[in-house]
Structure 1
Amino acid sequence: MRILLIGVGHWHTPLYLAPLLEQPGIEISGVSDPDIAVARRYGEQLGCAYATSPGELRSGKRPDLAFVLGRHGDMATEVAALIDEGIPFVVEKPAGLTEAEVRDLAAKASAAEIFNAVPLVFRSSGFMSAIRGRAQGEKLLYADFKFIAGLPSRYHDAGCGWVFDRRQSGGGVLVNLGVHFIDLFQRLTSVDGVRCADARLANLQGEGDVDDYASLTLANGDRFCRVETAYLYPAPGGVFDMHFSARTEAHYFRTTGPGVIEISDMKGRRETIDGSTTNMPIYPLFVAEVIDHLRNGGRPVADLGDMANVMKIVDDAYRIGGV
């Protein structure tokens, strides 16, 4: 299987590349990035073709699968070209700058019957697995997701300063991190019923013109969810100030530390289990599932239609809360 990586300057590239190189029968056929120095560095490291434009690489060895990373403002153009050429793809969040842009891509991919996947990886987390396993069929009453990541400097260190330019990124921490938890509430309740009841967004550290703090209240009928994300924690990449909790009809779930989940029932019985609570350990599973599903005709865990549903709430939150 020949793999094309588009926009390899993205900070998530290593999370895809390492598990891809461990998959049997995989060839990285080309890498692209608007910065030729970045493209060259990856191309030489991998011994593959490199260019500033992925179109140059698609005209050579046709890839069997493309991973679209890079700047958010470039994603829709790259995805549309892949759909036109019938090339299956994975596209990083948010896949476009607005719901309308992503919804249009989802419709085109569906009409063309093109395999497409979006890494809404928290769907496969240990926290969600615990809820599915212990509270199957139970109504969700309340959920709370707090995920405070490292400082904005980490994006500059990765060469991704465009993140702080709304014209190129579409937004800040809400677009990069908050989307995961909007998706989880939609999964735990229903897509159609979820609305943004309140939003408070701020640029606390003066980086560009995007939010580095976002707090949303989501509602679905009489069920509520709080989502809080930020770039405020002075810690290295992969270390977070985080707390998740969810109450169903008969159980209460909460994280008590990285990789640790406590499950309580209404009689006060408590059990602690191990399970992934952050996103980084889930990427190898995501990559393996994409390869397997593409090879064997399976459906992706999440696709552009799911991303469009999330972006509807994101657009509403920006209208309500501003920055």
Structure 2
Amino acid sequence: MVNLGPHFVDLFLRRSGARHVDLVAANLSASLHGQEVEDHAIVVLAGDDGSEAIIEVGYAFPASPAKRYCSYTSVGSKGYVDVGTSGQVSFTRASDGATESSIIDVDSDPLYDVFVRRVSETWADGFAGLPTLTDLSETMHVIWAAYKRSSIPSGEASLG
């Protein structure tokens, strides 16, 4: 959850329109591989504007070509979005029910280089356009709360 989940939590926090988001449910499991770190996690979020999201991530079979599992679904006043491990993504607009679909690369590994370059390019102007420490803190608050509800250790003693 701490490695794959923040991307989707941040997506919901930035795009839902909610001023406040609650962690409705969280389950982190290590049952697939029986290690001390989770191999699967589910988080359900709800915004004060009626929006909600279900985030499911995992390293189910790291040696397989797929490496990771991810599923993100969210509904709100603008519509419904669905992103899956295969890269199939669809967005259905609430206004007219029209659906747009596409295939995207959900493997985050290639994005690391892009992010490092962006940080380097924006250093002089205060990292304009990048997430702020407040953005990162809000995202991690949700992640640590998910761990707190779980028996899987996170390294974070409390939410403060």
Tell me, yes or no, whether TM beats 0.5. Answer: yes
Contact 2:70–2:84 (Cα < 8 Å) also in 1: no
Is the Cα contact below 8 Å between 1:217 and 1:227 reproduced in 2?
yes
Which whole-Å deviations, capped at 9, do the CAs of 1:12-58 have from their partners, x for residues lacking one?
xxxxxxxxxxxxxxxxxxxxxxxxxxxxxxxxxxxxxxxxxxxxxxx
* Number of residue pairs aligned between Structure 1 and Structure 2: 149
Which of 299, 312, 316 does residue 141 from structure 2 map onto? 312
8 Å Cα contact 1:258/1:278 also seen in 2: no
Q: 2:41 aligns with which of 214, 226, 231?
A: 214
Say whether 1:225 aligns with 2:70. no
Tell me whether 1:196 sits opposite 2:23 in the alignment: yes
Unaligned runs of 5+ residues in structure 2 are 153-160
The alpha-carbon deviation at position 272 of structure 1 amounts to 3.3
Give the secondary-structure state (helix, strand or coil) at the position aligned to 1:287: helix
1:293: how far off? 0.6
Q: How does 1:72-91 map to 2 (within 5 A)?
A: none
After TM superposition, the runs of 4+ consecutive aligned structure 1 residues lying more than 6 A away are none
Residues 261 and 225 (structure 1 numbering): CA distance in 2 closer, same or farther, change over 3 Å? closer
Which protein has the larger Cα radius of gyration, Structure 1 or Structure 2? Answer: 1
Matched, 1:245 2:66: no
State the match for 2:6 in structure 1.
179
Shift of 1:297: 4.6
Q: Deviations over 1:128-160 (max 9, x none)?
A: xxxxxxxxxxxxxxxxxxxxxxxxxxxxxxxxx
Equivalent position to 2:108, from 252, 273, 279: 279
Distance 2:24 2:82 in 1: 23
Q: Is the 8 A contact 2:91 2:99 kept in 1?
A: yes
Q: Distance in 1 between matches of 2:74 and 2:24?
A: 18
SS of equivalent residue, structure 1 residue 311: helix
Higher-helix-fraction structure = 1
Q: Distance in 1 between matches of 2:100 and 2:122?
A: 34
Of 293, 307, 317, which residue of structure 1 is paired with 2:122? 293
Aligned ranges for residues 51-130 of structure 1 at < 5 Å? none
Identity %: 26
Q: What SS does the aligned partner of 1:245 have?
A: strand
